[in-house]
Amino acid sequence: KAGVTQTPRYLIKTRGQQVTLSCSPISGHRSVSWYQQTPGQGLQFLFEYFSETQRNKGNFPGRFSGRQFSNSRSEMNVSTLELGDSALYLCASSTASGTFDTQYFGPGTRLTVL
Amino acid sequence: DQQVKQNSPSLSVQEGRISILNCDYTNSMFDYFLWYKKYPAEGPTFLISISSIKDKNEDGRFTVFLNKSAKHLSLHIVPSQPGDSAVYFCAASPKSSGTYKYIFGTGTRLKVLA
């Protein structure tokens, strides 16, 4: 079974621009979550989507948004980029069924804001 | 406020010895815990999990212990191998709330010396 895929793997943008990242979950997984990883901060939860609806949201400004499509693929958008947005953005998918659920991560998109 | 804490940013262990990675949490609503391993330029890989109804879970060389009263969990790797060198993240989720929001620690970099 194919794993979680993320595109693009690397991205360089300048301040003020916007960016869209894409995530394709494992087949059959309906929940997709996004995380931001920066040095010293670990993985910070951005949001989680399930059946095209945002179910959970972390403490990030409104410049960070996302959506999920009917095939469970998800996109994350960051508008008006700031230098501090430079990070590794990780997507994770899960079946979101049953009581205990495990998330499986993609390789991430490395975003550099200049 | 860091709800999941990994107070040791790094750990070095000799090959063949035991590696013990620690994680503390503050939210008593957390009832599902996971450990992930992350190599550079890759997404985190699921390692092992434990629910709050257990105090120990074992999978090969990896064992996770949960002390609910102390709000502490640990990951034991025995015997440690050079290939175990990676960053290890613990994560927690309040499953009973019906959400799938995972809170991650900041990670511990394990180096296994040959």
Residue-wise pLDDT for A71-109, tens only, equals: 999 999 999 999 999 999 999 998 876 656 788 999 999
Give the number of other Cβ atoms within 10 Å of residue B53's Cβ: 11
pLDDT digits (tens, 9 = 90+) for A10-20: 999 999 999 99
Percentage of chain A lying above the pLDDT 90 cut: 77
pLDDT score of A6 more than 80: yes
* The dihedral sign for the CA sequence A70, A56, A107, B83: negative
- Report A:57-96 residues touching B (Cβ under 8 A): 58, 90, 92, 94, 96
- A42·B89 Cβ contact <8 A: yes
Distance from CA of B95 to the nearest CA of A (A): 7
Strands A53-57 and A74-78: unpaired
Query: What secondary structure letter does DSSP report for A3?
Result: -
Of A91, A33, A93, A80, the closest CA to residue A57 belongs to A33
How would you write the pLDDT of chain B (114 residues) with one tens digit per residue? 678 999 999 999 999 999 999 999 998 888 889 999 999 878 999 999 998 899 999 999 999 999 999 999 999 999 999 999 999 999 998 765 555 678 899 999 999 999
